[in-house]
Structure 1
Amino acid sequence: MTIIPAKPTLFLSALLIFLLILKTVVLAQPNKENQFQQLQLLGQQHPDSALIILKKIHSKAVQDNENLVAGISLQQMGQICYNQGHYAQALDFYLHADKIFGQENNKNLLAENMSKMGILYYYNKQADKANQLYKKALTLYKTTGNKTGQAEIFGAIGHLYEKRHQYDSSFYYQHLALSTYNQIKDKRGVAKIYENLGSIYEDLARYDSSYTCFKKSLELYRQDHNEVASIEVINNIGDILRKTGKYEPGIQQSRLAYTLSLQTNNLYQLAASCRDLGKGYQLLRQMDSAYHYLELSRKYSLEVYSKESLNQTAFLQVLYDMDKKSDEIIRLNNIRKTNQIVTISVITIVVLLIVLGLVTFSRQRLKIKDQRVLSEQNQAIFEAQHGLMELELKNKQLEEESLKQQLELKSKELSAHTLNLIKNNQLLESMRNTLQDMVKEDKRDQKKQMQQIVHQINQSFNHEQHWKEFTIAFEQVHQRFFDKLKQHTNDLTSTDIRLISLLKVNLDSKDIASLLGISSDSLRVARYRLRKKLNIQQGENLSTFIQAL
C-alpha cells in the first residue's frame, strides 16, 4: 500500500496521536493489538516517532519477558525500515522477530514475518529467496487455516511471476487469491487482486480485460472507502484509455485522480496524475496544457523528494541515536560484567588459596597413612595372586590327570569293543563252519533249516550296532583322525574306513579278516586297493602310514 504523507494542516492532529500512543506505552495498557495498529498509522506519517515508541515497547517487553510483544515490535520496526528503504536494517529486525516467533511456535506471526521478508528480498532483486519464503509462509497458513494469510501469499507469488513475465503462473496464483478472498468476503483483498489482474492484462496489451478488472477494483475500493487505492486505480484506468486512443476520457480520469489527490494532499498521486495529464494533452497536441501539467508533476515530485529527504534525515538520526544508545548500553553492560568477573575471580582465588592450603596440609598428613595402607594392600594382593596361581596350577594338573584317565578309559573301551567284535565273529565263524558241515550231509530234513541258520549268521556278520559303538569309541580316542585322512583322499567307502580303523588299533590280519567277515585273500585285495586310494608309494608300509596320521 502507498504511504500517505501527512498534511501540513494536520500536524497538530498527528502530534496528538503521537502523544496518545506514547501515553498508551507508558501506562502499558493490555490492548496490545490496538496499540500496534495505531503505531502502524503513525509509522506511515512519522516513521521516526513510531520507531522510538516501538523501541521503548520492545525494551519493556524484554524486561517483562513478553516475547510475542517483543517480536511484533521488532517486526514493525523492520517494516518501518523497509518503507524507508533501509533494507539491511529491516532484514535484521525481521530475522530477530523470526527467531522469537519460532521459539514461541506462533505459526501465524511466523508466516506473516516470512511474507514480509519475502517482499524485502523481492525488492532487493533476490526473487528465488522471496519465492522460498512465500512457500514456507503458505504452508504455515494452511496448517493454521488462515485464509486471509493464504490469499495474501497467493497474490504475492502471482506478483512475483508477473515480474518474471511468467503470466500463466501469475494468473493461476492471482485467481487462487481471488477465490480465497471471495470465500472470506474480504472486499479490500478482492479489489487488490482485480487491480493486480488489470496490471497483468495491461502488460499483455489486453486492454479491454485490463479496463474491466480496474473498474471492478475501483468499485470495491469505493465501497471500502479506500481513497488512496481508488486514486491509484483511477490513474491506471486513465492510462488504459490513453493507450487505446481514448484520449479525452483518459484525461477525464486523470483529472479526477488529480482532484482527489488535491483533497487528500497525496503528493505521490498528484505527481502521477499530473504526469498522466501531461501525456494526454501531449497526445492531443495541446502543448501548453501538456507543459503546464508536466511542470506541476515535476514540482510535486520535487516536493515528494524533499519530504522524503527530510523524513530520511530524521529517520537516520533516530537510527543513529538508537545504535549509539545500544552501543552505550552494551558498553555499560560489558563494564558491569567485567567488574562482576573481576570480583568473582578475586573471591575465587582467595577461596582456592585457602582450600589449597588445607588440601596440602591434609595430603601431607594422609600421605604416610596412604602409603602404609597401599603397602598392606599390595602385600595382600600379592599373596592372593600367589594363592590363585598355585590353585590354577593344581587345577591344571587335575585336569591333565582327568584327561589321561579318560583317554585310558576310552582306550580300554575301544579294546573291549574290538575284542567283543572279534569274539562274536569267531563264534559266528565256528558256528558257520559247523553248520556248513551239517549241510553237506544227506539228511534232507535238516538241510533246509541249516541253510536258514547259515543265512542268519551271514547277516549277523554285517550287523552295524557293534560297528557304531566301535566308531564312537575310536573317534573319542583318536580325535581328528578322519579329518587328517580326508586330506589325502575323499574316495573312501565305509568298508575302507573300517579297515583303516582296525589297522590304526594294531590288529593283525587274521583278526581284521574275521571282523570284516572276509577271507585273508580278500583282505590282501582290500589293502592293495586302499594303498592306491591313499596314493602310498611302493615300498611304504600301509600300517606305518596309518599310524603316522
Structure 2
Amino acid sequence: MLIVLLVLQANFSFAQASKAKCDSLIEAGKKALDKNQHTHSLELLFQALDLAKNNGLDKQEFLALNNIGTNYYRLSEFGEALNYYLEGYTIAIKKLTPNEEILVLNNIAILYFEEKKYDQAKDYFTRVYTASKENKENLTAGVAAINLGTLSVEKNDLELAKNYYEEALPLVSERPEYIVLAKGGLANCELLLGNTNKARKTAQYLIDTTKDLEFYHADVELLLIIAKSYLQENKLDVAEEYIQKITTKKPKLETKIKLYKLLTEINIKRKTLDRALQYKDSLFEATAKLNASKNEKLFENSKIKFELQQYKNQSMLNEAKLVSERKIFYFVLLFIIVIVLFALWTVRNLSLKLKQKKLIAERNEQILALELEKEKRESLLLEKQFNENQAVSLLQQEKLKNEVEIKNRKLSAKALYLSGKNEMIEEILSELSVLPQVSKDNTLVSHIHSLKNQLKADNEWDNFITHFEEVNQGFLDALKSKHPALTINDIRYISYIYMSLSTKEIASMLSITQDSCRKRKERVLAKMNLPKETNLYDYLTSL
C-alpha cells in the first residue's frame, strides 16, 4: 500500500492586498504542481515566499515552503524537499497552530520512508500520530496510523502493522477512501502471514462494496492482493486472470514490473519457459523504461534546476535593481522629507513670529484700551468735578442772586418807606399851610417852607446809590459804559426798574405822575437805542 501524502492548500482569503496576492501566487503554484509544471510552480511559489517574508505573513510563508518541498518531492529531490519541509516545520512550531506542524511532520516522515530510512520515518509518523490524538484530529491520527502500518509492513513487523490498521479504522470511519486503505493494509498483512483466503475475501469485499477505488490506486493494490493469493495457492490461471485485469487499468511502470515478475513466476511454475522468458524480457524492458524514465526525470530535474537557478539569478538581479531603486527612492524621499521639515520649520517660525506679533499687538491694544479707559475715567472724573464745580458755581450764583434780590427788596422797601414818609410829611405840611392860624404866623410859614425845600433836596439819593452799588456791584459801571448818554435821573429811573418796582412805585419815589413815568421810560429806551417794545427789566438783568 502507498504512503498517504498530505499537501496543505491555500484556501484562505485575506483582506489585505499583500495577503491576497500571496494567496493567489500560492494557489496558482499549487495548480501548476498538480499539472506537474514544476518550473512554473516553483517560480510562483518562490515569489509567494519572498512576498510572505517581506510582509511578515507567517501562514503564507509556511504554505509556500510546504508546496515547494512537495515540488521537490515529486521530482525525487528528497534532500531539497527535506530542507524546505524542515524550514516550514520551524515556522509551524514557533508561529502557527499544531495543524500545520502535523502536516509538515507527515511530509517529512514520507521523505524518510521513500529513502528507506524507516527508523526516522517511524519517529516522525509517531509524532504526527501523537500530536493528532492530543489535538483530537481523528482523521489525521487515522492517516498517521495507516502510514505506521505500511511502515511496519516494510519492516516485516506484520502484527504491529495489523494493530495500526485496526486502530486506524474507527478514526477514519467517516472517510470511505481511508477505510479502504486501512482494510486493504489488513488484507495485505493476512496475505504476507499466509492467510490467503482471508486476504482474498477482504480484498474482493472491498472491490465489490466500494464505489470509488481510484484513491491512491486502491483498486490495483486490491487486485494485486487477490492475484498473489491465488498464486500462493497455485491457482495459476485465476492469478493470471486477475493480473490481466490489472493490466487493463494501465498501471504505472513500477506496478507493471511487479506484474511481469508475477507472470514470470506463474509461467515458471507452469514449465512454460518460453513465455516465462518473454515476461522476463518484458520485465527487463519495463525496468529499462523505468530507468530511462528516471534518467529522463533526472534530466528534467536538472533542466528545472537550471531554469530555476536562472530564475533565482534574475530575481537576484531584479532584487539588486530594486535595492538600487529603493536607495534612490529613499534618498529622494529623505530629500523631500528634509525639504518638508525645513518648510514646516520655516512655517512654524513664521507662525510663531506672527503669533508673537499678534500677541504684542493684542497687548498693545489692551494697554491702549487701558490707557483710553484711564483717560476716559479721568475725563469723566474731570467732567464730574467740572459739573460739580459748575453746580457749586450755579448754586453760588443763585445764592448771590437771591441775596441781591433780597437786598434789592430791602433797598426798595427802604426807598418806598422814605418815599411814603416824604409824601406823608408833604401832605401834613400842605394841610398845615392852609390853616388860618398857620398862615398868619410868618415864622411857621417860614418853617413849613424850609421843610418843603428839604423834602425836595436830593440827599437821600446819594445814600440810595451807595447802597445800590454795594448790592449790585458793577451794574451801574456796565450801564454807564454801554450807554454813556444816560443822565443821573435816567440812571435813577433805570435803578428802580432793575429793582422790580412798579410804575406807580417809581412815580411816587420820583414825585411824578404815572404818565410822566411811562413817558420817561420811552425817553430812556430812545437814549439806549432800544425798541419801544423791549422789556427793559429783562434787558437790564442781561447786562
Q: CA deviation at 1:89?
A: 0.8
Match for residue 135 of structure 1 among 126, 133, 137? 126
Q: For the Cα contact (< 8 Å) 2:139–2:171, is it kept in 1?
A: yes
Q: Tell me how far apart the structure 2 counterparts of residues 334 and 37 of structure 1 sit (CA, whole Å).
A: 28
Of 321-330 and 308-317, deviating more is: 321-330
Code of the aligned partner of 1:90 = A
Change (3 A) 1:166 1:301: closer
1:424-480 deviation digits (Å, cap 9, x = unpaired): xxxxxxxxxxxxxxxxxxxxxxxxxxxxxxxxxxxxxxxxxxxxxxxxxxxxxxxxx
Q: Tell me how far apart the structure 2 counterparts of residues 29 and 121 of structure 1 sit (CA, whole Å).
A: 30
Paired residues for 1:58-457 under 5 Å: 58-182=49-173, 185-219=174-208, 222-226=211-215, 228-261=217-250, 266-323=252-309, 325-326=311-312
Change (3 A) 1:59 1:333: closer
RMSD: 3.6
Q: CA deviation at 1:232?
A: 3.1
Change (3 A) 1:212 1:328: same
Q: For the Cα contact (< 8 Å) 1:235–1:276, is it kept in 2?
A: no
Is there any run of 5+ residues in structure 1 with no aligned partner, and where?
Answer: 4-24, 345-549
Change (3 A) 1:138 1:314: same
Q: Tell me how far apart the structure 2 counterparts of residues 305 and 52 of structure 1 sit (CA, whole Å).
A: 28
Q: For the Cα contact (< 8 Å) 1:198–1:209, is it kept in 2?
A: yes
Q: Tell me how far apart the structure 1 counterparts of residues 90 and 253 of structure 2 sit (CA, whole Å).
A: 38
Change (3 A) 1:303 1:220: farther
| Secondary structure, counterpart of 1:108 in structure 2 | helix
Of 110-119 and 161-170, deviating more is: 161-170
Aligned-pair identity in percent equals 12
Q: Tell me how far apart the structure 1 counterparts of residues 284 and 277 of structure 2 sit (CA, whole Å).
A: 10
Code of the aligned partner of 2:229 = I
Q: Tell me how far apart the structure 2 counterparts of residues 221 and 299 of structure 1 sit (CA, whole Å).
A: 34
Match for residue 31 of structure 2 among 35, 38, 42? 38
Q: For the Cα contact (< 8 Å) 2:142–2:168, is it kept in 1?
A: yes
Code of the aligned partner of 1:245 = N
Q: CA deviation at 1:241?
A: 0.9
Aligned length: 313
1:5-46 deviation digits (Å, cap 9, x = unpaired): xxxxxxxxxxxxxxxxxxxx9x95967896566345223xx4
Q: CA deviation at 1:91?
A: 0.9
Q: CA deviation at 1:224?
A: 4.2
Change (3 A) 1:86 1:253: same
Code of the aligned partner of 1:300 = A
Code of the aligned partner of 1:297 = L
Code of the aligned partner of 2:195 = R
Q: For the Cα contact (< 8 Å) 2:32–2:40, is it kept in 1?
A: no
| Secondary structure, counterpart of 2:172 in structure 1 | helix
Aligned to 2:361: none
Of 245-254 and 314-323, deviating more is: 314-323
Change (3 A) 1:273 1:95: same
1:279-338 deviation digits (Å, cap 9, x = unpaired): 22232222333333332333233223222322221222222443465467568878969x
Q: Tell me how far apart the structure 1 counterparts of residues 2 and 110 of structure 2 sit (CA, whole Å).
A: 14
Code of the aligned partner of 1:189 = Y
Q: For the Cα contact (< 8 Å) 1:74–1:97, is it kept in 2?
A: yes
Code of the aligned partner of 1:275 = K
Aligned to 2:42: 51
Q: For the Cα contact (< 8 Å) 2:213–2:219, is it kept in 1?
A: no
Q: For the Cα contact (< 8 Å) 1:148–1:180, is it kept in 2?
A: yes
Code of the aligned partner of 1:215 = Q
Q: For the Cα contact (< 8 Å) 1:255–1:277, is it kept in 2?
A: no
Aligned to 1:522: none
Q: CA deviation at 1:130?
A: 2.6
Change (3 A) 1:176 1:162: same
Q: Tell me how far apart the structure 2 counterparts of residues 87 and 287 of structure 1 sit (CA, whole Å).
A: 41
Q: For the Cα contact (< 8 Å) 1:274–1:293, is it kept in 2?
A: yes
Code of the aligned partner of 1:273 = L
Q: Tell me how far apart the structure 1 counterparts of residues 25 and 308 of structure 2 sit (CA, whole Å).
A: 23
Q: CA deviation at 1:65?
A: 3.9
1:45-96 deviation digits (Å, cap 9, x = unpaired): x444433443343334434543323212221221232233322111101011
1:360-383 deviation digits (Å, cap 9, x = unpaired): xxxxxxxxxxxxxxxxxxxxxxxx
Paired residues for 1:477-516 under 5 Å: none
Q: For the Cα contact (< 8 Å) 2:29–2:40, is it kept in 1?
A: no
